[in-house]
Structure 1
Amino acid sequence: MPPSPALVVTLDRRSARPLGTQLADQVRARITSASLAAGTRLPSSRALAADLGVARSVTEQAYAQLVAEGWLEGRHGSGTFVSAAPPLASTPPTRRTAPAEPGLLRLSTGTPWIDPRHAALWRRAWREVSTARPPAGYDDPRGLPALRAALAERLAHVRGVVCDPDEVLLTAGTTDGLRHALGALPAGPVAVEDPGYRAAAVTVAATGRGVRDVPALEVPDLAGTVAAYVTPAHQHPLGRTMPAAHRVALLASARRAGAVVIEDDYDSELRYDVAPVPALAGLDRERVVYLGTASKSVAPSMRLGWLVAPAGIRERIAHQRAITHDSPPWPVQRALLALLRDGYVDKVVRSARRVYADRAGRVVDALAPYGELTGPVAGMYATFVMPREQALAAHEAGRAAGYDVPLLADQCRTHVRHGLVVGFGGSLDDGQLDHALAVLARALRG
């Protein structure tokens, strides 16, 4: 029996997919198809569980996942509703600080923690590369076929991006994938979220295109642009998830402008509060260029990523690469194939989630009294908004103690905010993290 006329759900108890995942998928699909409008009140988790004949934990899990993704919102004392989340505000610009000095230990937002217990699998993969026969000439410009097949399977399983292996192109990391995608587009400016990933804005500018700064997580008017670069699953550096209504509106804006959305899905597997948020590309494969990377799960130094794009863009990239031989090194691709096949990537991701969850709790406990946490902590950093003077005082105290703590303002171009972006990945150990947090907290108290 359906739970209500507004929420028709069918759960398949014979399916290998968990019931909570099935429920979340169906509710999400109802929202994206406009069958459930913004503001619609959903049944309580208890009532829905009773109607479906499942444990309440099933409906609570589904609702928690959809709230984390931004599709639903809980209103205290009122219930659960289809979301219409407001955009973030922006603040006036200010001066930037100097780059990090050599010798400072950087609380990096992008260096992963890798569990040393899995080192044997890492060594085994490279031994296998050393005995494998490399291609006789230049290899497939799209990348190693077996690796593309493995990535297509993984993207469907963990990111909701259903694609054929022929639709996957290997890249030398995210910025390389962005460069290739831009090279396949017509002339015109690119909208880039601000604050945002600085390397993306630099890459766009290096192709000779104009950079149009748009406030992060707002829905930009893309008229006159050829693309918009976004990090919707975990906005860098604010850490928020793009609300569901904004995702739908962004795709609609891109369709009206004849533009594409370039989705940088840089650390999506590293959620530890809920399941990873589905990729934007799962909503519109014809309008979204999807960029993935091994940098946050395996090692930044591998310089390996992947790209899934609409057919026309993908074919133009492959044609150009066939001429220039501009593709990632075969040994690195072959190693990643072995690391995926032998379970190394899954193991290090699971280990990292546990470590990050523990470190995130310590970071929040130490710094939340002095700044506003910008979003649910996921991945390997937490961002706190605070007055400029406080942020600068903590930043300088950290430098004096040997730590470089990134300033939020340094990630901004036009829409400047103030605060700290505190990374807790693999560039420091637990003792160093606790010492750095104590230094920052003392400065902020002062």
Structure 2
Amino acid sequence: MTETPGAHPTEPARPTGSDLHLDLPAGGGRRAALMSALREAIRSGRLAPGTRLPPYRALAADLGLARNTAAEAYAELVAEGWLTARQGSGTTVAERAAPAPPARARRPAPQPGPAHDLRQGQPDAASFPRTAWLAAARRALTAAPNEAFGPGRPQGRPELRSALADYLARARGVRTDPDRIVICSGFAHALRLLFDGATPVLPPAEQGPLAVEAYGLGFHRGLLAAAGVPTVPLPIDEQGARVGELAHHPDVRTALLTPAHQFPTGGPLHAARRAAVVDWARGCGGLLLEDDYDGEFRYDRQPVGAVQGLDPERVVYLGSVSKSLSPALRLGWMVLPDHLVDRVLAAKGEREAWAGALDQLTLAEFIDSGGYDRHVRRMRRRYRDRRDRLVAALAASAPHLEVSGIAAGLHAVVRLDAGTEREVLRAATRRGLALDGLADFRHPAVTPEAMPTADGLVVGYATPPDHAYPAALAALCAVLPAAA
């Protein structure tokens, strides 16, 4: 019997089977017990055909048996046809008829995805910088201190916090230092830390109802509702959220805004309103939560700086790589006023349970090496081209429809006549086109008196692969209503 490790040169590699768990039945001889346990493991399917068994010496040591006992058991099972042994291949489970698996309830077949996907919120997955990211990961692992492979720190790796402090100051106008940055897994995780913990993070003066924009993600409103936080909608117009309305809600001490690019209607918060909302927070002892949604992707001029730069003690700045790189990385950050850092760390717990240290180290290296800047610039050009093709297609086929929110981000809004949105979405579904309607993002408490109802489509232009984008645009144009 051979014990030569490694697969036969002409055969595909098999599972090595280096560790093998066997329960030897009590009573009788040890060789018979080992043979019985191996037969049962093979008969039940736990040892699949082709699985390589450990060398008999290793198995004997693991089970506390004599080497001859294990060798003789292997030899007899080979003779019986349960095992095979070949020079250069070791001992493997024979390629014999496997037992029929137990009957299982039939699962429903997965539903096919849409033929064309123009939903908002997803970056171009095919453009993830795999080669550059892998190179950054190798450099980061080589330079990582040994303690990086121990339990994670709740504040996040110092390498990433330092890289972010420099990058956010340079690219977004954020005023901070690494000690005021807490790493999280994304924007939703940040909201949970602030509002959904057993111990309130916000001081009593900043608790109470939360002001939000009249249009936004229902998922975020649902998260806040589950945490027992009521939301008060602020109407929006072409200059962003009407923050002057905060004066009519004296019980509100905290507001959540998307100043760089209002989601989903588009457009930055006007400079006068940026200053006004900071003054409001100072005056009432409140807090502004700044969701830097799509902050990197501005096409017609330089990105708008962060509101946080106006008053770092009254603004919590929230960002992530979910749009700039990939939501699969699960990496985000909170830039906090000094009085909230310890409170947020207490909410996270003693050890990091969300963001892996290796991804944090890689992102830090990716930023420090300039790879992140190069990727963002490349994607800015790519998405701007996508946007231009969308605008051109709409201008050619539906010039009567207004297109807004195109100066930044990964989506545009196509305005529709009142009462037509649902029918257009039904027509899109019939053509296999996935779209979001503007009404789906409207806060349920917004009244027509506070803000007129608007029909429209939120068209994401980042998701389709290049080869599928023309067909997706054609499908979109085909379902748009003709001029009245």
Does the 8 Å contact 1:226/1:260 carry over to 2?
A: yes
Output the CA distance in 2 between the equivalents of 1:403 and 1:376: 21
- Aligned AA for 1:351? R
Q: Which has the larger radius of gyration?
A: 2
Asked if 1:366 corresponds to 2:382, the answer is: no
- Aligned AA for 1:301? A
Match of 1:218 in 2: 242
Match of 2:458 in 1: 421
Q: Deviations over 1:400-432 (max 9, x none)?
A: 22221110111112334310010011x212342
From 216, 225, 238, the counterpart of 1:196: 216
Output the CA distance in 1 between the equivalents of 2:256 and 2:250: 14
Does the 8 Å contact 2:193/2:348 carry over to 1?
A: no
Q: Secondary structure at the match of 2:318?
A: strand
Does the 8 Å contact 1:115/1:348 carry over to 2?
A: no
Output the CA distance in 2 between the equivalents of 1:398 and 1:130: 47
Match of 1:54 in 2: none
User: What TM-score, normalized by structure 1, do the two folds share?
Assistant: 0.72
Q: Which runs of 5+ in 2 are unaligned?
A: 1-110, 447-452
* Count of paired positions: 345
From 136, 145, 150, the counterpart of 1:125: 136
Does the 8 Å contact 1:289/1:310 carry over to 2?
A: yes
CA gap of 1:339–1:201, structure 2 versus 1, over 3 A, is same
TM-superposed deviation, 1:115: 6.6
Asked if 1:297 corresponds to 2:324, the answer is: yes
TM-superposed deviation, 1:111: 1.4
Does the 8 Å contact 1:286/1:310 carry over to 2?
A: yes
TM-superposed deviation, 1:327: 4.8
Output the CA distance in 2 between the equivalents of 1:434 and 1:264: 32
> Which segment drifts farther, 320-329 or 342-351?
320-329
Does the 8 Å contact 1:371/1:419 carry over to 2?
A: no
- What's the RMSD between the two structures over aligned residues? 2.2
- Aligned AA for 1:277? V
> Which segment drifts farther, 360-369 or 255-264?
360-369
Q: Secondary structure at the match of 2:182?
A: strand
TM-superposed deviation, 1:444: 2.0
User: What TM-score, normalized by structure 2, do the two folds share?
Assistant: 0.67
TM-superposed deviation, 1:129: 5.8
Output the CA distance in 1 between the equivalents of 2:401 and 2:188: 31
CA gap of 1:387–1:247, structure 2 versus 1, over 3 A, is same
Output the CA distance in 1 between the equivalents of 2:166 and 2:351: 28
- Aligned AA for 1:121? A
Does the 8 Å contact 1:393/1:443 carry over to 2?
A: no
Output the CA distance in 1 between the equivalents of 2:293 and 2:147: 29
Q: Secondary structure at the match of 1:270?
A: coil
CA gap of 1:371–1:323, structure 2 versus 1, over 3 A, is same
Output the CA distance in 1 between the equivalents of 2:420 and 2:388: 22
CA gap of 1:280–1:393, structure 2 versus 1, over 3 A, is same
CA gap of 1:290–1:117, structure 2 versus 1, over 3 A, is closer
TM-superposed deviation, 1:343: 2.6
Q: How does 1:133-212 map to 2 (within 5 A)?
A: 133=146, 135=148, 137-182=150-195, 183-185=200-202, 186=204, 187-212=207-232
Q: Which runs of 5+ in 1 are unaligned?
A: 1-100
Match of 1:435 in 2: 471
TM-superposed deviation, 1:166: 0.7
Q: Deviations over 1:211-246 (max 9, x none)?
A: 112223111315212311100110000011111111
CA gap of 1:134–1:109, structure 2 versus 1, over 3 A, is farther
From 314, 317, 333, the counterpart of 2:344: 317
TM-superposed deviation, 1:257: 3.0
Does the 8 Å contact 1:383/1:420 carry over to 2?
A: yes
TM-superposed deviation, 1:102: 5.4
Match of 2:312 in 1: 285
Q: Secondary structure at the match of 1:229?
A: strand
Asked if 1:238 corresponds to 2:272, the answer is: no
Fraction of identical pairs, as percent: 37
CA gap of 1:323–1:302, structure 2 versus 1, over 3 A, is same
